[in-house]
Amino acid sequence: MDYPIAHLKALLSDRVGLELSPIELAEILWLALQQGEIEPDESETPALQTPIEQNQEVEPVSDPIRSNSESAAVVTEPPKPLEEEEAEESEPRSQESALPVKIPESVALRNRQAIARSIRPLMRKVASKQRRSIDEEATAIQIAETQTWSPVVQPDPERWLELAIVIEVTNLLEVWRDTIAEFQQLMERHGAFRTVRTWQLKPNEDGEPQLFLQTVAGLRSRARSPRELLDSAGRRLILLLSDCTSRAWRSGKIPELLELWSQENPVTIVQLLPESYWERSALSAGYPVGLKSRLPGALSRDWSIEGLSARQRQRLPEGLNLPVVTMQPEAFRQWAKALSAMDEQQTIGVVLNLQAFPMPSLAQAAPLTAKQLVQRFRSTASAKAQELADMMAVLPVNWSVIRLIQKNLPADETENALYLAEIFLSGLLHPIDAHYDFVEGVREVLLKTIPISEAQAVGEEVTEAVFKQLPSEVQERVNADISRRFGEGLSYFEAFLIPDLPWGESAASEIFPFARVGRQVLAQWGEEYAAWAEELAGSSQVSEIPLLQEFDEAAIEEENAAIAWFRERQFEVQSFRSNEMEVFDRFALDLGDHYDVLAPVLMQMRRAFLRKQRDFHYALGEISEEMISRCVGFGHNLLNAELLTEFHYDRATKMIRGTMADQPYLAEFFMGEWFERYIYQKVANLLRERDLRFSSLSHVTVTLPHRDRFELDLFFLVEGQPLMIECFTGKEIENILRNASPYIGILGFPSSQFLSVGLDLTRSQVNNPPSFLSGLIIANRETYLAQIQVMLGILGISPEPSLPTFSFEVITVNERGEVIDRRPGQASYYREELAKGVFLDMVEIPGGTFWMGAADGELEARDNEKPRHQVTIEPFFMGKFTVTQAQWRAIAELPKINRDLNPDPSKFKGKNRPVERISWEDAIEFCDRLSRKTGQLYRLPSEAEWEYACRAGTTTPYHFGETITPEIVNYDGNYIYANAPKGIYREQTIEVGSFPLNAFGLYDMHGNVWEWCADPWHGSYTDSPTDGRVWKMSNENGSRILRGGSWDNDPGVCRAAIRIRGRRGYFYYGWGFRLALSRPRTS
């Protein structure tokens, strides 16, 4: 087939990442024609271009990788004895007892073309010191001019650097396998380097890291000296690919190697974890800095440190200055230009102080229980990592199985590797012989939180894929036996439990792990499933196979316990919820989780029912493709479940049309019963996550002794304490009192145990209910889970899981701004993932009593800061930083609740700078959207909470002491407070977290940006509340309170007691905010 030249050029660019000029392309084609077709002789050993030391093995350089499934770039089997290698090269073995599962090929390094373009600065050429050739033109001129018949020889041009890729072999290597393989392939094919050799760095029995050369034939058996990588000319670039989490890192063995290599070679760490995860790695023992060099191919000593103040430089210990890059094009672009000393470019790096190693052992703490391990994991891991862990619990822990599961997660391969790394770094898994398994008890805890329908779907999909990779004759035998004995209703997930199916010896060994784990999973689903598993394992001849429904004998016992609770009080109770309606539960979850998108479609279906019709239609209009996909997918799912008889989507008009089935309960479900089911499932899951013993009833009729009846939506008996929930879908808040009357009046239940949840209630209705509803607890779909947790806390039955902690240094200064004390601090925190790579840390603030306001005699104190008074604060959580621009954008792009938000309002740009030009109303909208996304009740702090958190146990004007300086706070350094010296005036905001924390673990409580509080403005503290709550007014003015000062203020206006007012709808480039949270859900 003939291909146009343009087609070939595009193919080389797309597949290989080569951007060739027309001349280069013509030269390649000419050379190919001259060489003709060459049959490769694998026995030949290419000559190395580096000098060969005496007694050094000569081995082939690893050739380019052809695909993920061909000769793998990362060889993970242990090295074989030298005499065995040649005999076994033709029979590659897998490290696992490999399942016969072929994973569809996918791209792990999706941005490889951009990375290839980023490292072009390294493609420079220099004169070779070893290779020379005749300069024909110069020779001819010499002969003509001097009659000297000798050749003129010139050094050949050659690539500047050769590359040594060093792959650290750890227990997590398989996580990064595909990413590393494609990175190695990219480097080998790029053409930027003279040679590319790949090495593996792996520990011996004594923990000493050893080097092994990786070749086409596999991993060589003889360990090589690390000194073999040294190059006195400084032209061998060493890239260490690692996640920096291994024992060799923490013990200091690898930092010692880096010190050795850095003496003569440019060395760079390619960190496989993104920067947000570095604190979990050995890089946390170093100091992140910016590096710049004026010399190409800089060694460690040639890198200069940029961007630090003189004081910060004094604190910086001596160490190795090493660039650190991640698998991102921009990181490689900056690094390549900095390594080539181009354009004064800086790159991210780290100063590794070898005295910080060995790092403290991670195993010093007392071992955690399975429940504690899972609680710690859920409090810190991303949502996708938690979802992946839940799915992994359903099946054996096997790399092939994990990769099959990952195919269902909506993320690229690089993201999936990160989620998997979170799981392996969490301690949920431990190595057993040559594989991994969950720590004892962890699988059972995880299985309690994944819905049975989801677990069953994952199990059936993976086992079907495994079954289809078995030999065809095995498939035919097993299918025939299943059909004969069990009919057509048996899934492969269930079939794997049957030992006497005709698997054959080889297949049976692969199936056994599924049978073992499958029985564990079914046992967790209840007695009926466990009995069914035993029945299958016993291979009894049955003719009818019960469907795996979400049904549990334990649920019957729980329901009976709830009924017994009513009967003890002389009330008859009957629940009308049928197991036949379980199909509706997943649609209720879909509606509730995506109500903002699906609400218009739901409204059309409700209108059809009200008109006693079954046909409905709706024009989706100008909404995003993602929202269209959600609506259309919802319709197709209803069609597949036979709840719709027809469903169509017209792309041209964006119109959906459907016909609802004539099904029992369908009208009741869409008219509002779905919301009850949604709330029930969410609350039940919360109680299970907290491992609380509970019984429940839903859709209940209660009959009183005198035969009066009333209906109850949801009833939970939690640790023996009743909790009642009424759900309604309208905005009529008067419904609450009517619905609450029977329980509070007739049954005598306290209002603290009754919750009304309104689907469409606004935040204003929830926070400011009419006076006739005083004392009742009201929530909407954004706040109900937070209210449930508050109610459980009041009842004393909601144990909080332990939170992770972080350590820091707290400083105190005297009136001249000199540091007079340094002491360690520690705080607990809760992490929320707002978007990919964007996290929110909420620090636990302990309760206590403090003096609020300015002390007598305090410099520059104002009348509105008095009278000074004592206030008692309940424990709460507060943002570790003011809200950043990255956090703001993540939430501003969520659907609107009450007002639009500008995703990029700030004057001073930077994703880690505080967001500013924010009004109080903007901040409230942000809290509302974040609360709806997370199910937590995020808010602005009260003014008393803010000052308490700022002071952190101090009584001085600043939590630092008697004064501040521009070296610890961002303010106008042209002015002073007390006897401190003048300093820099930056005239802009700076990144959050740039200065020391206070004793509670909070950054930037003084300066940088003013922070909004929830309270209306009051001119003094006269008659102010003493319990820390928001101080409301009967006739609220339009002003709200700002605290803390900003970059544009003098130091006296950055004191802990300072308070100013701002109109609630106004904004300014010095105004930002910080979040508060009363009681987070951490599991």
The answer to whether the beta carbons of residues 1014 and 942 sit under 8 Å apart is: yes
- Please indicate, yes or no, whether residues 834 and 927 belong to a single structural domain of this protein: yes
Which residue in 267, 164, 254 sits closest to 210, CA to CA?
Answer: 254
Domain end, chosen from 772, 797, 822, is at 797
Cis peptide before 79 (omega within 30 of 0): no
Distant-in-sequence, close-in-space partners of 643: CB < 8 Å, separation ≥ 6: 583, 587, 660, 661, 663, 666
Q: What is the mean pLDDT of residues 231-242?
A: 90
Where residue 1001 falls (left for φ over 0; alpha for ψ -120 to 50; beta otherwise) is left
Q: Could you tell me if 781 and 817 lie in one domain?
A: no
Q: Band the pLDDT of 497: cuts 50, 70, 90.
A: confident
Q: What is the mean pLDDT of residues 427-440?
A: 76
901 and 1026: one domain?
Answer: yes
Domain check: are 473 and 332 in the same one?
A: no
* Per-residue pLDDT, 889: 95
Which pLDDT value is given to residue 42? 36
Residue range 452-469, pLDDT digits in tens: 777 777 878 888 888 887
User: What's the mean pLDDT in 266-286?
Assistant: 84
The answer, yes or no, to whether residue 712 has pLDDT greater than 90, is no
Domain region containing 619: 587-664
In this structure, the chain runs to a length of: 1083
Residue type, 1021: Y
862 vs 23, residue with greater confidence: 862
Q: What is the mean pLDDT of the chain?
A: 79
CA distance 258 to 1008: 39
Domain end, chosen from 639, 664, 689, is at 664
Task: Verify that 528 and 637 share a domain, yes or no.
Answer: no
pLDDT 10s digits, 868-895: 999 999 899 999 999 999 999 999 999 8
Q: 647 and 704: one domain?
A: no
Q: How many domains does the chain have?
A: 6
Residue whose entry in the numeric block shows the structure tokens 């949604």: 678
What whole-number distance in Å separates Cα of residue 861 and Cα of residue 398?
66
What single letter denotes the amino acid at residue 396? P
Same domain, 571 and 591: no
Does some domain include residue 82? no
Residue 719: the pLDDT is: 85
Q: Is 687 a domain residue? A: yes
Cα→Cα distances 145→19, 138, 142, 154, 275, Å: 42, 10, 5, 19, 64
User: Last residue of some domain: 640, 664, 688?
Assistant: 664
147 within a domain of the structure (yes/no): no
Q: What is the pLDDT of residue 607?
A: 86
Q: Can you tell me the distance from the alpha carbon of 166 to that of 239, in angstroms, rounded to the nearest whole number?
A: 6
DSSP 8-state class, residue 714: E
Whether the per-residue pLDDT at 410 is higher than 70: the answer is no
Q: What confidence category does residue 908 fall into, taking pLDDT thresholds of 50, 70 and 90?
A: very high
Q: Is the pLDDT of residue 538 over 60?
A: no
Query: Mean pLDDT, to the nearest integer, of 754-782?
Result: 75
Evaluate if residue 82 carries a pLDDT over 60.
Answer: no
Which of 104-118, 219-233, 256-270 is least confident?
104-118
Write down the pLDDT at residue 499.
64
Beta strand 267-271 with 320-325 is parallel
Distance CA 495, CA 498 (A): 6
At 175, phi and psi to the nearest 5? -60, -40
Does the pLDDT value for residue 282 go beyond 90?
A: no
The answer on pLDDT for 421 being more than 60 is yes
| pLDDT top residue among 1000 and 38 | 1000
**pLDDT band, residue 16 (cuts 50/70/90):** low
For residue 34, give both structure tokens.
């001259």
Same structural domain, 771 and 908: no
Q: Which residue has the higher pLDDT, 671 or 708?
A: 671
pLDDT score for 628 = 84
22, 27, 32, 34: CA torsion to nearest 10: 140
* 43, part of any domain: no
Judge contact between 682 and 699, C-beta under 8 A. no
Which of residues 940 and 531 earns the better pLDDT score?
940
**Does residue 539 carry a pLDDT above 80?**
no
The mean pLDDT of 473-489, rounded to a whole number, is 72
- Asked if 1054 and 923 sit in the same domain, the reply is yes
Asked if residue 719 lies in contact with residue 753, where contact means CB atoms within 8 angstroms, the answer is no
The whole-angstrom separation of Cα 481 and Cα 473 is 12
The more confidently predicted of residues 16 and 419 is 419
Residue 102 maps to a domain: no
Let me know whether 482 and 407 are in one domain: yes
Residue 90 placed within a domain: no
Average pLDDT, stretch 283-287? 86
Nearest to 292 by CA among 347, 329, 342: 347
Q: Is residue 786 part of a domain?
A: yes
Q: What are phi and psi of 672, to 5 degrees?
A: 155, -20
Contact 470/509 with Cβ under 8 angstroms? Answer: no
**In this predicted structure, what is the pLDDT of residue 395?**
83
Query: What type of residue sits at position 856?
Result: D
Q: Which tokens go with 887?
A: 């956090």
Can you give the CATH number for the domain in which 1042 is found?
Answer: 3.90.1580.10
CA 1045 to chain centre: 33
pLDDT in tens, 575-589: 655 444 567 888 888
Q: What is the 3-state secondary structure (H, E, C) of 606-634?
A: HHHHHCCCCEEEEECCCCCHHHHHHHHHH
Report if residue 744 sits inside a domain. Answer: yes
- CATH number reported for the structural domain that contains residue 700 in this entry: 3.40.1350.10
pLDDT at 238 over 90: yes
Sign of CA dihedral 586, 588, 590, 593: negative
pLDDT band at 707 (very low <50, low <70, confident <90, very high): low
pLDDT computed for residue 44 by the predictor: 34
Query: Count of alpha carbons within 13 Å of 138, Cβ hemisphere only?
Result: 8
Cα three-residue angle 232-235-236, rounded to 5 degrees: 90
615: domain CATH number is 3.30.1370.30
Residue partners of 871: CB distance under 8 A and separation at least 6: 849, 850, 852, 944, 948, 1025, 1026, 1027, 1028
Confidence bin at 1011 (pLDDT 50/70/90): very high
709 and 573 share a domain? yes
Residues 450, 568 share a domain: no
**pLDDT score recorded for residue 992:** 95
Percent helix, strand, coil in the chain, to 5, is: 35, 20, 40
Residue 530, C-beta contacts closer than 8 angstroms, at least 6 positions apart: 519, 522, 523
Does the pLDDT value for residue 386 go beyond 50? yes
Quick one: DSSP state of residue 884? Answer: B
pLDDT tens sequence across 909-920: 999 999 999 999
Per-residue model confidence (pLDDT) at position 580: 46
Task: Answer whether residue 491 shows pLDDT above 90.
Answer: no
